Chain A
Amino acid sequence: MKKNYGTAYAAPQALWLTVFFAAPLLIIIAYSFLKKGLYGGVELEFSLRAYTDMANPTLLRVALKTLWVSLAATVATILIALPCGYSVARSQNQAIRLFLVIVPFWTNFLVRIYAWIAILGNEGFLNQALRFLGFRPEGYQFLYNQGAVILVLVYMYLPYAILPLFSTIDKFDFTLLEAARDLGASRMQSYIKVMLPNIRGGVVTAVLFTFIPIFGAYAVPLLIGGKDSYMLGNVIADQVTKTRNWPLAAAISMTVTLITAIAVFLFALKKPKEHLEVADVDPASIGHDLLVSKVRVKTMHKKGGER
C-alpha cells in the first residue's frame, strides 16, 4: 500500500493562495460592510453605507457606461475576430498568420496603448497627416472620448479573441459546410447554422477573454479616455488611492466581481439549446476548456514544441 503524499505536495500552494489570494478577497468582502475610517482605512463597525453610496447617480452612470462600453467592444471584437480565426484556420500557412497575430499580442500592453496616443493625440500622426493633406491646421480632438476608448479596447483584445476562435475552428470538420451547401443551404446559412453551433466553445472562450478584462479595464480608459470616460476600474482605483474610501472601493470591487461571475456562469455554463444537436457540448467540460484554452493562448508559442 503506497502512502498518500497528495496533501504534502499540494499544501504549499494551497497555503500560499489561501494567505495571498483568499484572505485578501475575504478582507475586501468584509471591508465593504464596514464604516469608512477618518483618514482612509476602516473602522470596525457594521455599515451598509458603502452599498447605499453606490446608488448615487454619478456612480450608476459610470456603471452603465462601463457595461455599455464592455458590451460594445466585446461584440465588435468577436464579430471581427470570427472571420480572422476562420481565415487562419483555413489558410495554407497557418504558422505565418499565427505569427502575425501573436506579435502585436506579445508586444507590451502599455506600448500598444502609447502607440494609440501617438496616433490619435493632438500632435499625433493622424492630425499631422490630415494637416499635410490640407485639413484644419488646428487639428482634431481624437482622444478623450468613448469612441477612442472602444477602438483601443478592440485593438487590445482582438488577439485574445482570434486565438481561441482559431483553435476551435481549426478542429471543425469543414466537410460539414460542404454537406450543408449540397443540401441547399446558402453560404451564410451554412456558416451560421452549421459552423457556429459547432464552434460554440471557442466563441464562449473568446467572449469571456474579451469581456472580463474589458469590464475591469483600468489603463485604457485612463490614458485614452480621460476623466469623462472613466470606467468602474478607474473609480475603484481613485477610491483606493485618492479619496481613500476603502469600503466604497471594496463594494464596487464586489459588484464588478459579481457581474463577472454572472457573466461566466450565464455564458459558459448555459446548456446549448435542444435543436442544436450537432453542437451538443458538455456544459461541464466548457469550464475546463475555458481554462485550458486560456493557458494555451497565453503560452501558445511555447506550448507547441512539446507535442
Chain B
Amino acid sequence: MAASIHGTKPLRIAALFHARRIVRKSAKAAFRLIPKKAKASSIVFWVVIAFLFAPLFVLILYSFNASRSGEWAGFSLVWYKKLFLESPELWRAFKNSLAIALSSAAMATVLGTLAAVGTARYSFKLKSYVATMSFIPMILPEIVVGVSLLVFFAGIGLKLGMISVWIAHTTFNIPFVYLLVSARLEESDPTVVEAARDLGASELQTLFKVVIPMALPGVASAFLTAVTLSLEDFVITFFVSGPGATTLPLYIYSMIRFGLSPVVNALSAVMVAGTVLLVYPMRNFLKVFASN
C-alpha cells in the first residue's frame, strides 16, 4: 500500500495535502482545548506543572520496564516483586525512618508545645532567647546544622547511630512545632484560660483541660509536620547517622550512587502514589487555606 502511494506523484501530493489538512484540523482542535480567556499566566502554569510531573511519570513508566537498562523491553512487575519481597534492607531502612520520625516528632512536639504555651501566656526573662533560638535553625543552611552536630557528637564522644539521628531530628523539628503551636495559641481566646484560673483550676488542670485542648489542631498539625520533615530529611541525617541507623533517604542515596536501580523506580512509584493518596483527600482543606 505505502509503496503505491509513494510511487505515483499525484497521489503523493494528494496525500501531502491530506496530511496538511489533518495537521491543521488537529491544531485547531488543540487550540480549542485552551479556554478562550486563557491567560499567559495560565499557560505558564500548565507548562510548569508538566515540567514538575514529567520526571515522576518517567520513573513510574520505568518501574514497569522488564529491562534493567533504559531501553523499553516490555511490561513487567518484576521490580515491584523485588521491592516488596526481596529487599529486606530497604524495609529495615524504612522501619528506622518511621521509628525516628515518630519518636523525634513526639519529643519535639512536647518540648515545642510547652515552650509555646509558656511564651503565649507569660512574659519572662528567657522569652526572647526562646524566640530567637527557634528562628535561627530555620534560616541556617542544613549542611551547617549537620556538620556542627557531627562535630559536637564527636566532641562529646557519642557514637553515631539511632540516638544521634533522633537528637538531630528532634532539634530541627522543634522550631517548626514551636511556631505552629504559637500561631494557633495566638488565635485562641486568652479570657477562657483566665476564666479557668479564676474558677479555681490549678495550673496543670488549666494546661491539660483548657490550653492543650484549645491548641490541639495546632499541636496535631505540628506533630504531622515534624513526622514528614523527619521522613524527608537527607542532608542532616547523612552527617549524623552511623552503622545500623540507615534511614530510607540514606538507603535510596546509596542505591543511586551505584547507578540506576529499577527497584528505586518501583519504590519511587509507590512513594508518588502514596503522596497523591495522602494529599488528594486534603484538596478541600487546601481551598480553605487558600481563601484566608
Question: Interface of A with B (CB < 8 Å)?
Answer: 2-14, 16-18, 20-25, 27-28, 31, 41, 80, 83-84, 86-88, 90-91, 94-104, 106-119, 121, 123-125, 127-128, 155, 158-159, 162, 166-167, 170, 208, 212-213, 215-216, 218-219, 223, 233, 236-237, 240, 246, 249-250, 253, 256-257, 260-261, 264, 287, 291-292, 294-296, 298-307
Q: Given A7-B124, A240-B150, A111–B184 Cβ distance below 8 Å?
A: no
Could you name 20 residue pairs across A and B whose Cβ atoms are closer than 8 Å? Answer: A2-B197, A6-B123, A6-B127, A10-B130, A13-B111, A27-B148, A28-B147, A28-B151, A87-B44, A87-B45, A100-B49, A107-B275, A117-B256, A117-B260, A250-B147, A296-B289, A301-B285, A301-B289, A302-B221, A306-B184
Q: List B contacts of A261 (CB < 8 A).
A: 139
Q: List A contacts of B222 (CB < 8 A).
A: 299
Stretch at the interface among B11-19, B24-32, B56-64, B84-92: B56-64
A24 & B151 in contact (Cβ 8 Å cutoff):
yes
Q: Residue B249 contacts which of A17, A109, A166 (CB distance < 8 angstroms)?
A: A109
A301 to chain B minimum Cβ distance, whole angstroms, is 5
Q: Residue A9 contacts which of B118, B264, B290 (CB distance < 8 angstroms)?
A: B118
Q: Which B-chain residue is minimally distant from A112 (CB atoms)?
A: B55
Let me know if B141 is at the binding interface, CB within 8 A: yes
Q: Given A10-B126, A13-B130, A111-B271, A128–B70 Cβ distance below 8 Å?
A: yes
B151 & A95 in contact (Cβ 8 Å cutoff):
no
Q: List A contacts of B137 (CB < 8 A).
A: 17, 21
B225 & A298 in contact (Cβ 8 Å cutoff):
yes
A155 & B51 in contact (Cβ 8 Å cutoff):
yes
B290 & A8 in contact (Cβ 8 Å cutoff):
no
A240 & B289 in contact (Cβ 8 Å cutoff):
no
Q: List B contacts of A100 (CB < 8 A).
A: 49, 52-53
Q: Which B-chain residue is minimally distant from A231 (CB atoms)?
A: B143
